[in-house]
Structure 1
């Protein structure tokens, strides 16, 4: 009994544990291989046994390999998404630290946090900058118009 526990730990350390997707793929190939082989046997084909090496020697490794490839691609995309979140978390931590040290006022801190959360992608950041520039330009035009009106009165 102790040997079985030792074998399980050794297998886990090597990373040979099958994921649920790999187990499903292996089970499906096994079911199809047995079904085809015994179906051929029941129909009286003398070379029914060929289904076993094809199914278990070719189909099973192919199915498990595809499952592992799919899982590795999914893990890579999860890693990329995780890096994006960690950059946002790092920026928030920096803002919190500056606020705690008194470098930022309440309004500055809130504005920067809102801006950071609005701009999770490069496209969002560009759109925010363009909106800010458009608002600044409109404000400057309004101030210029007010000055012109005051000059005409004066």
Structure 2
């Protein structure tokens, strides 16, 4: 039987451990288990979180680039319009002329958008 273990990004695991430590510390303080508050706080924030931050890549639950999983996420939520246009051309949905015409239009709009962004940056300074 081939079971797949749960893997997390290092940043996600650190965030989850930090939130869990803070939550347990607050819970113990509210419930009346004050003797567990310093223990939970020290174990979580001064031992577990730093150890995961330092040794996280060697832990089995942390995914790495070697695992074949891309760890870095891009800010784009999909392919850009030029990539989509190229894919449609490669599938044969567009003729040569139509591809060139649409590509030129996309490049013109990107250049115009980039110049407007540059102008706004210089206007703020």
TM-score, shorter chain, exceeding 0.5? no
The answer to which structure, 1 or 2, has the higher relative contact order (CA under 8 A, 6+ apart) is 2
Q: TM-score, normalised by structure 1?
A: 0.31
Higher helix share: 1
Q: TM-score, normalised by structure 2?
A: 0.37
